[in-house]
Amino acid sequence: MDWKEVLRRRLATPNTGLNRRKSEQELKDEEMDLFTKYYSEWKGAGKNTNEFYKIIPRFYYRLPAEDEVLLQKLREESRAVFLQRKSRELLDNEELQNLWFLLDKHQTPPMIGEEAMINYESFLKVGEKAGPKCKQFFTAKVFAKLLHTDSYGRISIMHFFNYVMRKVWLHQTRIGLSLYDVAGQGYLRESDLENYILELIPTLPQLDGLEKSFYSFYVCTAVRKFFFFLDPLRTGQYLNLDKDHNGMLSKEELSRYGTATMTNVFLDRVFQECLTYDGEMDYKTYLDFVLALENRKEPAALQYIFKLLDIENKGYLNVFSLNYFFRAIQELMKIHGQDPVSFQDVKDEIFDMVKPKDPLKISLQDLINSNQGDTVTTILIDLNGFWTYENREALVANDSENSADLDDT
């Protein structure tokens, strides 16, 4: 009888001598006393606490230092062997082809259209014949996930096979990426991802015509896009904006981005908050800027722009900060011969769109939750964007008229 059973029996035995029910605290104290006693006996009489620690398996291994060359080499080789083993656990092309033949052989009638189907009973039979590598895919959970509207309770063979293929490709990609994890810490640094994409370029048919002199631009663009969206393009435009060809962008050069209608006030904030070198922006910083402006519906992009609009660094936008940016829009309207719009009207529209929790403050989360963050930021930083918003009804009507004219012809 082990200590758990002894403990259970002792606690279940009523204390007849006291002729009363024990308090909850007394039961807890007795439980702890019995646990300590029987656990010590179970582990062996005479062992002290320090000796117990010796039987705990080692669970932490420090990373080898730079000068410990042998340990570093051992770590690298161990990781390589581990990744090779993981790779061998994946289905290869021949095994995938065999899986397809088995699925096709066990399809369940009746045939509806051209879609081959399989029921759960046949699904399990295929799983038994497909081999140990396929076992993880032939579960009730996977079948239920792929089960939709079939009146016979079947799933599509093609949908299931595509599911398996995607899983295999995902694991293959993960193993491939792990090979570039130089530090072996389970993540990729920017330089690691750059090496991965650089070596991947020759295998991508879409990039067959890309000149090698542009490889570095492509790699940088791709890497920045990954890091922008996962840690919260138009490369030709960067070269066109760089009028003095020094590889950097000044505020004046960046002002010609897009429709060249961003306000100077907003551009000032960009150069105040973003990383620059002697007052000029490098390509990586430019990519962050472009990604934010071209994906204004995304939380990561809104976070980037919100930081620029939060001039007082308070964590929210108030009437003062909104007015600060919109005054620049009003100035541009005057320059272009347009009648300025009242800030009071615009401010009320913004608060009506966002509906913040605090009626006087707009937080980043308020912007994200409203699904109007892209519209609000556009109104405040870009004259062309504000004009499009202000004339949205007329533009929609004009599009409808043009569509009607096309229908008539």
Q: Domains of the chain: which residue ranges?
A: 3-53, 91-178, 233-394
Tokens representing 40 are 């010590």
Helix%, strand%, coil% for the chain, nearest 5: 65, 5, 30
Q: Residue 282: pLDDT above 60?
A: yes
pLDDT one-digit tens code per residue, 83-131: 899 999 999 999 999 999 999 999 999 887 888 999 999 999 999 999 9
Measured distance CA(130)–CA(142) in Å, rounded: 16
pLDDT of residue 162: 94
pLDDT one-digit tens code per residue, 242-281: 888 788 899 999 999 888 899 999 999 999 998 888 889 9
- Residue 397 to residues 134, 341, 404: CA-CA distances in angstroms? 57, 22, 11
Lowest mean pLDDT among 59-68, 107-116, 209-218, 297-306: 59-68
pLDDT of residue 19: 43
- Over the chain, what is the mean pLDDT? 83
Mean pLDDT of 195-215: 88
Of all residues in the chain, the percent with pLDDT exceeding 90 is: 44
SS (H, E, C) 215-267: HHHHHHHHHHHHHHHHCCCCHHHHHHHCCCCCCCECHHHHCCCCCCCECHHHH
Domain 91-178's class? mainly alpha
Pick the residue with more confidence: 212 or 229?
Answer: 212
* Residues in CB range of 47: below 8 A, 6 or more apart: 40
Length of the chain: 409
pLDDT of residue 231: 59
pLDDT of residue 376: 95
Structural fold of domain 233-394: Recoverin; domain 1 (1.10.238)
pLDDT one-digit tens code per residue, 362-393: 999 999 999 999 999 999 999 988 888 888 76
Q: Residue 26: pLDDT above 60?
A: yes
Q: Residue 2: pLDDT above 70?
A: no
**Same fold across 91-178 and 233-394:** yes
Tokens representing 85 are 């083993």
pLDDT of residue 340: 82
* Residues in CB range of 4: below 8 A, 6 or more apart: none
pLDDT of residue 190: 80
- Omega before 110 within 30 of 0, i.e. cis: yes
Its pTM stands at 0.52
> Which conformational region is residue 315 in: left (phi greater than 0), alpha (psi within -120 to 50 degrees), or beta?
left
Measured distance CA(13)–CA(92) in Å, rounded: 61
**What crossing angle do the helices spanning 190-200 and 215-230 adopt, rounded to 10°?**
130
Across 348-388, the runs of DSSP E, i.e. the strands, are 362-363
pLDDT one-digit tens code per residue, 319-369: 999 999 999 999 999 988 888 889 999 999 999 999 999 999 999 999 999
pLDDT of residue 235: 46
pLDDT of residue 306: 96
Q: How far is CA 130 from the centre of its chain?
A: 34
Radius of gyration of the chain (CA): 33
406 pLDDT tier (thresholds 50, 70, 90): very low
Tokens representing 208 are 């067959």
